[in-house]
Amino acid sequence: MTKNFSLSCDRNQQPIFEELSMYFKDCRCVLEIGSGTGQHAVYFASRLPHLTWHTSDMIDNHESIQAWIAEADLGNVILPVEFHFGKNDWPNLDVDGVFTANTTHIMQRDEAELMMKTIASKLKPGGVFCQYGPMNVNGRHTSESNQAFDQSLRERGYGGICDVAELVDWAEGMTLIEQVSMPANNFLLVWSVK
């Protein structure tokens, strides 16, 4: 099996973990949307042994996720299910936490909106959604590098960086409880379901 490696994932996982250790401390079952290479899954699951970490992604990424899971040999990280908003049904899992990193800006706008609405409707009361990546604030990019990145994303056919206010509008039923500034001009948005 091919085990892919992302340098940015390697760099950001410790700062993300420091936040997740607080916000997922009462969670028992987390679904990761867009597990990518699989690095985050094994890193977080190994450090959050109280919860079960479910991976998901498009089928093309499953081999790498499976390879990372096999090498880590953890009892609390689960092999990926195929999941893409607008194409697959919500996984049949009873989760009280959802995590996604660097997915919102590569989704099409309607997919990002569908993600926010679906999570708001599927997470049970008391559930937590942690969303990591670049975000615009008050209609503006937070750095010149993010502006250039956003332009590059749109030129390549991706949806581009969303504004926090847009995500709030789409996330009816969820409350944004924290907007944590992270390294490299990223944020961790923490949402709660009432």
Q: Is residue 88 part of a domain?
A: yes
Q: Is residue 139 part of a domain?
A: yes
Query: Please, which pLDDT band fits residue 102 given cuts at 50, 70 and 90?
Result: very high
Q: Is residue 2 part of a domain?
A: no
Query: Which pLDDT score, from 0 to 100, does residue 1 have?
Result: 76
Q: Is residue 170 part of a domain?
A: yes
The pTM assigned to this predicted structure is 0.97
Buried b (16+ CB within 10 A) or exposed e, 157-184: eebbbbebebbeebbeebebeeebebee
Q: Is residue 1 part of a domain?
A: no
- Can you tell me the mean pLDDT for 5-19? 97
Q: Is residue 180 part of a domain?
A: yes
Beta strands at 97-101 and 128-133: parallel, antiparallel or unpaired: parallel
- At 122, list the tokens: 């599927």
**Domain range for residue 26?**
7-193
Q: Is residue 14 part of a domain?
A: yes
Q: Structural domain tally of the chain? A: 1
The SS3 assignment for 136 reads strand
65-101 pLDDT, tens digit each:
999 999 999 999 999 999 999 999 999 999 999 999 9
Query: Which pLDDT score, from 0 to 100, does residue 79 have?
Result: 98
Q: What is the mean pLDDT of the chain?
A: 97
- Can you tell me the mean pLDDT for 142-156? 96
The rounded Cα 134 to chain-centroid distance in angstroms is 12
Decide if pLDDT at 128 tops 90: yes
Query: Please, which pLDDT band fits residue 194 given cuts at 50, 70 and 90?
Result: confident
Q: What is the CATH number of the domain that holds 112?
A: 3.40.50.150
